[in-house]
Every structure is written in structure tokens, then in C-alpha cells.
Copies of this chain bind each other. A is one copy, B any other.
Amino acid sequence: MIKAGIIGATGYAGQELVRILLNHKEVEIAWYGSRSYVDQKFASVFGNFTKLVPDICKGDDLDKLADEVDVIFTATPQGYLAGILTESILEKCKVVDLSADYRIKDVAKYEKWYGIEHKSPELVAEAVYGLCEINREDIKKARLIANPGCYPTCSTLSIAPLAKRGWIDTKTLIIDAKSGTSGAGRGAKVQNLFCEVNENVKAYAVATHRHTPEIEDQLSYISGEDVTLNFTPHLIPMNRGILITAYANVVGDHTADELKNAYYEDYKDEYFVRVLDDVTPPETKWVEGSNYVDVNIRFDERTGRVIMMGAMDNITKGAAGQAVQNMNLIFGFDEQEGLRLVPMIP
């Protein structure tokens, strides 16, 4: 039984960590950190935890926390962890960071897209990008995990098998993404009010979204090419879920079956990736509340393009679920422990 601390426990991703860890056999939550709700009952902030979590929210003293727990999850704003993380903390415990601080190896690129100075660039090289299906062995040895962003997780897993084989022209790659509103966080902003989001759909951060370089990096590593692409996220009137619809020209002479088999092959041993039958398009509802990513493709012979689709719960596999999966790998637990969450319909 290890002990875990959560910094940012009262955000949507933070409380999802709680939901998952409460049923995890090997972990006890020892610290509910929340700057905004210090000294308040955690269950008074999220009523779903009534009677399940009697704990009071604590602050964000990372040094103190590192003495008390084996693993720290940070579900904090960009730049926060980079400002306080030290070598001495990493010597005491593992850190799984759900923010973007250590995801991009090129610090200048990070600083440009995020508009903030990186305060601990010396730790970037060591951080392992925690996309478990891609970097499993490195994760097992890591002290610091850069837990992937929601869009990058779903995009990378939906495109990787074809990118890896060089079967798509990455210069033609376009990712059109749709996300539920929990991705926007729990901050009190007019634009995220029920009446503003409900019965509405819009693109946002067109050509400027900060997950763009993260996706480009990952697909560059996988394809061995320098990938530049278009990524357009859209806000959907639903709580949870991400859907990726990606387009690229197929390179060379491949049948639809050949393309599909790349997915079957790469993911045949991956518990959390489900390759759907035939041309069934993924639906976000089919993965809600679970750690699954559902993927499928459709080859359009008229245009020579392949449409690659992926659906995922942005809060689970896109954040807290994947964080726990990373923790499981680091501590040598069963990778599925705590994550055998059956998707919920309706």
C-alpha cells in the first residue's frame, strides 16, 4: 500500500483521481491539496464524495508532502509545478504531473506557445512523456512523468500506427477535435456557463491551441519526420469526452484492410485501446468514465485520404486515468489496477 498526494484535488481532473484511487487496492490518498478550499471538507466541494471522503483539504506545500507520500499527482495550472519542483523532491517521491510543464523537450518552444518562462528547465530532459502505450518501458523507470494532454493522447493513439509506418503524408495531416466542456476546467468564466455552452458549438483557439506542438512532437518522434499540422478544437455541449477526426493523404498503394491491420497489429496487446470492427465510427459515450480509447479508420478511395478517428474520456484516459496508469507502471502494479472501469451508458 503506497500513499498518494494530490495537488489540485478540487479541479475536475483532481477529483477524478480521487474517484479512481478510492477503488485502487494499492493506494491510499493521504493528501487532498487545494489552494482555494484549504480547511474545507473535500466532500463539501464535491458532494459525490459524501461519506466516502471525510478528509479536509490541505494546501500545496510540496516539500512537506514529499516527506509523507510515495507519489504526488499535480493537477495544477501551467507553470506552477515548474516553479516549485526540485531535485530533492524527486529524490523523495515520484511525481506525475498532469500539467504541460514537462511535456515539451524544447523549452523555447514551450515558452513560446505557453507564454511563460520555464522555471526548472534542467528537469525537462529527465521527464518521461507518459503515453503508456508508446513509452511503457521508460515510464517504469521514471521519477517524473509528464502526463500527456487530452487532445495529444487521443490524437497520437489514433494516428500512430499509420504515422509509424510512413503510410500517411504527414504534411497533409489535419486534426479536427471535439471536446466536452470539462476540458475547460472548473474556473468561473462566463464563456463556460451552462447557458453559453448548451445548444451551441464553436471552434476555439483556431491555429493557436497549445496542444499543437505537443501533438507535433509526438508524431514527429513516431514518424521520424518533422511534423507540422493543423489542429482545431471545438467545444461541445457535453460534460466528458473527446473525439478526434484526423485526415491525411495515404502514401503508396495500400488497401483499406492493410491500413486497418496496422491498428490491429499495434494494439493487439493493449488493454486500453479498442480497435472497432468494420467502419464503425467511435462514439464518446462508449468510453465515458473509462480509461479506453476507441479508434477506427475509413479509407476514402475517391480522395486517397484516410480518416482516422478516436474517442476517449478526456478526464479519465485524457488525464486522471492515464496518470494512474503511469503510477501503476512506475510502482510495478498491475497496469489495469483501479482502471477496470466499465464505460457507462446512457
Contacts and interface: CB of A to CB of B under 8 A. Distances in A.
Given A201-B178, A234-B245, A241-B200, A206 B281 contact: yes
Interface in A270-284: 274, 276-277, 279-284
Given A198-B346, A237-B236, A230 B307 contact: yes
A78 interface: no
B344 A200 contact: no
Interface string A191-225: 01111111111111011000000000000000000
A266 to B, nearest CB: 15
A288 B195 CA distance: 13
A344 B48 contact: yes
Contact of A238 (B201, B229, B245): B201
Q: How large is the interface on A (under 10, 10 to 19, 20 to 34, 35 or more residues)?
A: 35 or more
Contact of A344 (B245, B289, B300, B346): B289
Q: So how many copies of this chain end up in the complex? A: 4
A228 interface: yes
B198 A230 contact: no
Nearest to A190: B188
A18 B47 CA distance: 27
The 9 closest A-B pairs by CB, nearest first: A195-B346, A48-B343, A200-B285, A47-B286, A207-B300, A194-B197, A202-B283, A176-B176, A188-B188
Interface of A: 12, 15, 18-19, 22-23, 44, 46-52, 172, 174, 176, 178, 180-182, 186, 188-190, 192-204, 206-207, 228-230, 232, 234, 236-241, 243, 245, 247, 274, 276-277, 279-290, 294, 298, 300, 302-303, 305, 307, 309, 311, 315, 340, 342-346
25 contacts: A12-B346, A22-B342, A23-B342, A46-B345, A47-B285, A48-B287, A50-B286, A51-B274, A52-B342, A178-B234, A181-B194, A186-B193, A192-B195, A194-B197, A195-B239, A195-B346, A198-B346, A199-B241, A199-B284, A201-B241, A201-B284, A202-B284, A202-B311, A228-B302, A234-B245
